[in-house]
Amino acid sequence: MTRIAFDLIRKTYGAILEHLDVGVVLLDVAGRPSFINARAARIVARGDGLRADQNGVAASFLADGRTLHAAIATAGGTADTEARRVYLSRPSGLASLVVTIIPLGRLAEDGRPDAPCTALFIVDPEAPLRIDTQGLGTAYGLTPREASIAALLSRGADLTQAASTLGIGTSSAREYLKRALDKTGTRRQANLVRLVLRSFAVSHA
């Protein structure tokens, strides 16, 4: 593969990975980061569970580090696509980072020393959620008010709190919720929340 072709591929997948809702770190065959998206960079900058520099990645705790590096070594030595998951404890006491490790066999076969060999997908369970109300409204034909009620409930507000946030009465909020349930076919508030969190939640890592 020529340098121009390789750089074009890197630019293309870099643009795609920046739009994912998880942190992404790509490692070369030596375990050094060849790409870190913005979400992963914010996680790494906090130094709470995971660190990264030009020499590689490291966990905050020794035992977690051994598990992480063993999983990376295993992924880097195989062409299969089996994902491996590790949990990195955090000195802050917040919930552990969840790191899914996936081998990138085809890219690694290019033979370039800086070709990505392994991908780390990093999720911070403590990251606040943003609900894509526009996407929710478009997908199910919800009005902005109906989508906002669904979003607020999905972030943990009760109906009274959601009504107060939107500056409307509780009875109006209840009516918007009823319409949202009807349009999404969820029937119950718990099912609506599950739908929203599964398909329209974006975390701010």
Residues 106 and 31 in one domain: yes
Task: Report the CATH number at residue 196.
Answer: 1.10.10.10
Domain with 95 in it: 3-123
Q: The CATH number of the domain where 89 resides is what?
A: 3.30.450.20
Q: Which residue has the tokens 């919930």?
A: 95
The domain total for the chain is 2
* In a shared domain, residues 143 and 193: yes
The sheet carrying 84-88 orders its strands as 33-36, 23-27, 118-123, 97-103, 84-88
Contact 202, 21 (CB under 8 A): yes
111 and 197, same domain (yes or no) = no
Average pLDDT per block of 10 residues along the chain, 205 residues long: 51 76 88 92 96 95 96 74 87 94 66 72 86 94 96 90 94 97 94 90 70
